[in-house]
Structure 1
Amino acid sequence: MRSERLGGGGSAADVFRALARRARSRQLPPPAGLIGRWFDSAAVLAPSVRALPCPPDQAFTLPATREPGSRETGPRETAPGGPAVGGGWIGYRAYPDRRGALPEAAGGWTDDVVRLDESGCWWFESLRDAPCPDDLAEAVRRPDAEPRPWHIDWAEPDRRAHRRGVELCLDAITRGNVYQACVCARFGGTGSGRPVDFFADAVERTRPSRAAFVQGAWGAVASLSPELFLSRRAGTVTSSPIKGTLPLDADPTLLRDSVKDVAENVMIVDLVRNDLGRVAEPGSVHVTDLLRVKPAPGVWHLVSTVTARVAGSVDTAALMDAAFPPASVTGCPKHSARHLLSSWEPEPRGVYCGTVGMHSPLAGLELNVAIRTVEFDATGHVGLGVGGGITIDSDPDAEWQECLDKARSIVTLRATGRRPGPPRASRNAQADPVSAPT
């Protein structure tokens, strides 16, 4: 493990733009990155990642030569500027029940990252003990990368189809088939420009806490999530499910006073406790924070936190088997809700409601819930899933409005600069595999 202090530099968004330009100029695969609150840092950026499709059950598992062994349950290594990340596997795993346009899982390994600590200092970290390349240090310290134009023409989901799904869910709740379920819809669109430029602009303006980006020849995923699915470090697993939403201009006390939102959150907390309890040490599952009102881009949310102790013999695959897909985007009982949702929703969810994140042999595992997540395929088509939890007290019109409220911070984004021309194919598929969509 090597760590070099790079000092002050650009913002996370500006450095990410500079890394993308560096990768294109060197004909390397594009960067991947995490921006927000990840691994006790403000950003963890991989300068170049060859992100390839993989079997879903292999996502976020470390190669045999990188298995952390006792490190996964022991203390984290630290760099002079704080906790070390060094590198790892970064990518996504899609929601499992119906396949979308992108691969079911994709990602890749990086031996090096640049990390922005909470004090505003940048660090270069390498699992290979390699020095920081001069041009990489320059990209961090002086990221002379102007925002580039992009554009998306969005189309709203089918309101009648969403209403039908909500009404079917309410009927199933009345009959006792489920107690709660998350019914989703999907914005579609066409885009131009580069996904990395959309992502950099979006994180700069909306400042989500769990933003993540990964790109390959198959397309790109730009996740602007506020929600933590799983964090695993030093033998402790943490999950912070979100249930309950109000527009940001509303009085946040109304959220905590809402019988519907509180009931929804508590049911999902119980589901998370059950999921983690399948692999946790007996008696170690605890709710450490219940029904806290927190801001997110465009909305207020109710957020709770559940922790558990998990033995080192429980590997990442077993943990994912127990907890995936995330409880907050399925329903209670989980298996019944998943089965019914497949018939209530007119389109597959794709990456939406799956997870994006990173597994480092030094820092552990951190994954978001892939909500507020924009998916780009290789032909210029763009998708954005939205949804909300349905309980017996839900009103279909209010649920539709909640979907619009959640999407607003994304679908109203506009790029700086002039609108780009029509999509065109890249001349270098490896260096810039998704130049057509935004």
Structure 2
Amino acid sequence: MHTWGDLSADPLLVLAACARRAQRDGLAPPAALLGDWLGAAAVIAPSVALSPVPPDQAFADNPTTDGGRTAGWTIGFRGFPDVPGGARNRLLPEAVTGKADGLLILGHDGRWTSQGTVPAPRDLDIGPDDHENRDDVGDNHNTADDDDEAPSLDWSAPDRAAHRAAVLNCLEAIRAGEIYQACLSTRLDGVLHGDPLALFTALWRRTRARRAAYLAGPWGAVVSLSPEVYLTRHGRDVRSSPIKGTLPRDADPALLRASVKDVAENIMIVDLVRHDLGRTADIGSVAVPELLAVHEAPGVWHLVSTVTARTGVSGEELVATTFPPASVTGTPKLRARELITGWETRARGLHCGAIGIAGPGELDLSVAIRTLEIAPGGRCEFGVGGGITSDSDPDDEWDECVHKAAFTWGGGPAPWL
């Protein structure tokens, strides 16, 4: 790892400069992971060609050249695998991946370092004003191209009746003893007017999401403001931090710990994560160092727990035995997935899948929630959902979905009302 320039501690300015360089030189666009990834505040691949791949190849441990030599880091995403019968096609490919020859890494101390092959700071055309921290830049500042208009999203009304029917079916299955809990999702359809990178810039400045990600290619773009850790791995140490329990930001966060429904739901998912990690973990190594902690997230408060383990299996096997993430399925996991496929009317697409980066001895993945999928023509989809238990109320569950999506329109009433 090498020191890389005395530049702005604002990663969006560096990301925008990488995007300008890519466009100027005919390179693949950059990818970015912002918030808390690989123990850093930002991880940017200045240029990475992301292409569709079979889902099980999304996060390869050791990307190699044709000659077998290690060739950097793998960055990509993998969508939720289950698709309801008769559902229309996914908006984006099920899985996309690419090999980054180098990374720019912003430490939490505000210093940039680099790994592998990266451009020199002078090649990124960062002006003198960009060498100062720009954390005061407003939500509408467009670092992708200051000449463009601010991006906007037009949302259509989602299918509330279908979501209500799914919740009622789930409650019936819980009463019948088939499952204890399940996560149900709905889809918002919209159109993006503007540049996906400009949208990512505006939304991350608004939310400061801890597991934010921007990926783009000929297939479209992903703008993710996820707050949730699916898997991180450093050497043999593995961590997962499932989220279960949500309140709007203007509510008293203490109500989460006092909620019988939210506490029960979180503990059920913790047990499921312990089981998933335990399938490949060293005997006796699974632990829960954090239980029922209240964390901030875009527009909401969340109840978060953390499960850790030690394992000797590859990152690919770790994903294979735990995917899809426990918090977006249900308990028991297999039966919940079967039932969800019958209750939901739309493919989840990337929603509830995973986004992240893999390298030698490292794996860092988010749960793909609070994530916009954007097709090349601007059409977009946004999945949002929540966990259902025996105490769930269909109207409250719908309100939770709306609260989780509200950051995309700046808060307040839903735009379709």
* Same fold per superposition (TM over 0.5): yes
Say which SS state the counterpart of residue 345 (structure 2) adopts: coil
Alignment of 1:10-409 (within 5 A): 10-63=9-62, 65=64, 87-98=72-83, 100-126=90-116, 128=117, 132=120, 134-136=122-124, 138=126, 142=130, 146-147=145-146, 148=148, 149-311=150-312, 314-361=313-360, 364-409=362-407
Separation (CA, whole Å) in 2 of partners of 1:15 and 1:391: 44
Separation (CA, whole Å) in 1 of partners of 2:63 and 2:128: 32
Identity %: 51
- Cα pair distance change 1:173/1:61, threshold 3 Å: same
Residue 378 (structure 1) shift: 2.0
Say which SS state the counterpart of residue 200 (structure 2) adopts: helix
Kept in 1, the 8 Å contact 2:106–2:113? The answer is yes
Q: Which runs of 5+ in 2 are unaligned?
A: 66-70, 84-88, 132-142, 413-417
Kept in 2, the 8 Å contact 1:14–1:200? The answer is no
Kept in 1, the 8 Å contact 2:37–2:211? The answer is yes
Aligned residue pair count: 390
**Residues 163-205 of structure 1, C-alpha deviation per residue, up to 9 Å, x if partnerless?**
0000000001011111000011011101222111111111111
Kept in 1, the 8 Å contact 2:151–2:199? The answer is yes
User: Which deviates more, 93-102 or 302-311?
Assistant: 93-102
Kept in 2, the 8 Å contact 1:272–1:306? The answer is yes
Separation (CA, whole Å) in 2 of partners of 1:277 and 1:10: 39
- Cα pair distance change 1:288/1:10, threshold 3 Å: closer
**Residues 237-275 of structure 1, C-alpha deviation per residue, up to 9 Å, x if partnerless?**
100000000011101110000000000000000000000
Separation (CA, whole Å) in 2 of partners of 1:263 and 1:196: 39
Kept in 2, the 8 Å contact 1:6–1:137? The answer is no
Letter in 2 for 1:400: W
- Cα pair distance change 1:298/1:413, threshold 3 Å: closer
Separation (CA, whole Å) in 2 of partners of 1:207 and 1:49: 24
Kept in 1, the 8 Å contact 2:144–2:197? The answer is no
Separation (CA, whole Å) in 2 of partners of 1:397 and 1:6: 52
Residue 65 (structure 1) shift: 3.8
Residue 114 (structure 1) shift: 1.2
Kept in 1, the 8 Å contact 2:144–2:198? The answer is no
Q: Which runs of 5+ in 1 are unaligned?
A: 67-85, 415-438
Separation (CA, whole Å) in 1 of partners of 2:128 and 2:402: 37
- Cα pair distance change 1:141/1:65, threshold 3 Å: farther
Separation (CA, whole Å) in 2 of partners of 1:103 and 1:112: 25
Say which SS state the counterpart of residue 346 (structure 1) adopts: coil
**Residues 329-364 of structure 1, C-alpha deviation per residue, up to 9 Å, x if partnerless?**
0000111111111111111100000010001226x1
Kept in 1, the 8 Å contact 2:14–2:126? The answer is no
Which residue in 1 is equivalent to 2:140?
none
Kept in 2, the 8 Å contact 1:214–1:221? The answer is yes
Separation (CA, whole Å) in 1 of partners of 2:174 and 2:383: 23
Residue 366 (structure 1) shift: 0.3
Residue 10 (structure 1) shift: 4.9
Letter in 2 for 1:16: L
Separation (CA, whole Å) in 1 of partners of 2:91 and 2:235: 36
Letter in 2 for 1:404: V
Say which SS state the counterpart of residue 211 (structure 1) adopts: strand
Separation (CA, whole Å) in 1 of partners of 2:188 and 2:224: 15
Kept in 2, the 8 Å contact 1:326–1:353? The answer is yes
Letter in 1 for 2:2: S
Taking structure 1 as the reference length, the TM-score comes to 0.85
Q: CA RMSD in A?
A: 2.1
Kept in 2, the 8 Å contact 1:13–1:201? The answer is no
Which residue in 2 is equivalent to 1:73?
none
Taking structure 2 as the reference length, the TM-score comes to 0.89
Separation (CA, whole Å) in 2 of partners of 1:367 and 1:271: 18
Letter in 2 for 1:303: V
Kept in 1, the 8 Å contact 2:79–2:94? The answer is yes
Separation (CA, whole Å) in 2 of partners of 1:28 and 1:155: 35
Which residue in 2 is equivalent to 1:79?
none
Separation (CA, whole Å) in 2 of partners of 1:140 and 1:396: 54
Separation (CA, whole Å) in 2 of partners of 1:203 and 1:40: 19
Which residue in 1 is equivalent to 2:136?
none
